[in-house]
A = this chain, B = another copy of it.
Amino acid sequence: MNFDLSDDAKTLKEAARKFLDARAGPPVARKVMDSSDTHDAALWAEVVEQGWPAARVPEAHGGLGLGTDEACVLAEEIGRSLAPVPLLSTMGAIEAILLAGTDAQKANWLPKLASGQAVGTIAWAEGDAKSPTAMPSLALSGGTLSGAKSPVADGLVATVAIVTVASADGPAMAIVSLDGVSREKVETLDLVRPSARLQFDNTPAEALGTATDWVKLTEQLAVLAAWEALGTSDAARDMTLAYAKDRVAFGQRIGRYQGVKHKLADMYILSELARAHALHGCWAWSAGAAELSPAAAAARVASLDALKYTAEESVQLHGGIGFTWEHDCQFYYRRNRQIVSALGSRSYWADRLVRALEQRNRAAA
Determine, out of A128-136, A199-207, A218-226, A255-263, the stretch whose residues face the partner at the interface: A255-263
* Residue of A258, A260, A262 with most chain B CB atoms under a 10 A cut-off: A258
Q: How far is the CA of A262 from the CA of B266 in the complex (A)?
A: 15
Interface size on A, residues (CB 8 A): 5
Which residue from chain B places its CB closest to the CB of A256 in the assembled complex? B258
Q: How far is the CA of A297 from the CA of B3 in the complex (A)?
A: 49
Over the window 129-155 of chain A, the binary record of Cβ atoms lying under 8 Å from chain B Cβ atoms (1 yes, 0 no) is 000000000000000000000000000
Main DSSP-derived SS at the A contact region? helix
Q: How far is the CA of A354 from the CA of B258 in the complex (A)?
A: 37
Residues of the B chain whose Cβ atoms lie less than 8 Å from the Cβ of A259: 258-259, 262
> What's the least CB distance linking A254 to chain B, in Å?
11
Q: How far is the CA of A309 from the CA of B333 in the complex (A)?
A: 29
- A:207-263 near B, CB below 8 Å: 257-260, 262
Task: Rank and list the top 6 A-B pairs by shortest CB-CB distance, nearest first.
Answer: A258-B259, A258-B258, A257-B258, A259-B262, A259-B259, A258-B262
Residues of the B chain whose Cβ atoms lie less than 8 Å from the Cβ of A258: 257-260, 262
- A:253-311 near B, CB below 8 Å: 257-260, 262
> What's the least CB distance linking A247 to chain B, in Å?
15
Which residue from chain B places its CB closest to the CB of A259 in the assembled complex? B258
Q: How far is the CA of A259 from the CA of B258 in the complex (A)?
A: 5
> What's the least CB distance linking A209 to chain B, in Å?
41
> What's the least CB distance linking A319 to chain B, in Å?
15
Question: Can you give 6 contacting A-B residue pairs, CB < 8 Å?
Answer: A257-B258, A258-B259, A258-B260, A258-B262, A259-B259, A259-B262
> What's the least CB distance linking A86 to chain B, in Å?
43
Residues of the B chain whose Cβ atoms lie less than 8 Å from the Cβ of A257: 258
Residues of the B chain whose Cβ atoms lie less than 8 Å from the Cβ of A262: 258-259
Residues of the B chain whose Cβ atoms lie less than 8 Å from the Cβ of A260: 258
Q: How far is the CA of A257 from the CA of B256 in the complex (A)?
A: 10
Q: How far is the CA of A258 from the CA of B263 in the complex (A)?
A: 11
Q: How far is the CA of A260 from the CA of B262 in the complex (A)?
A: 11
Q: How far is the CA of A259 from the CA of B266 in the complex (A)?
A: 13
Q: How far is the CA of A258 from the CA of B259 in the complex (A)?
A: 5
Q: How far is the CA of A258 from the CA of B260 in the complex (A)?
A: 9
> What's the least CB distance linking A154 to chain B, in Å?
40
> What's the least CB distance linking A182 to chain B, in Å?
41
> What's the least CB distance linking A347 to chain B, in Å?
16
> What's the least CB distance linking A269 to chain B, in Å?
15
Q: How far is the CA of A278 from the CA of B148 in the complex (A)?
A: 51
Q: How far is the CA of A177 from the CA of B262 in the complex (A)?
A: 56
> What's the least CB distance linking A316 to chain B, in Å?
13
> What's the least CB distance linking A266 to chain B, in Å?
12
Q: How far is the CA of A257 from the CA of B260 in the complex (A)?
A: 11
> What's the least CB distance linking A80 to chain B, in Å?
30
Q: How far is the CA of A25 from the CA of B285 in the complex (A)?
A: 59
> What's the least CB distance linking A107 to chain B, in Å?
55
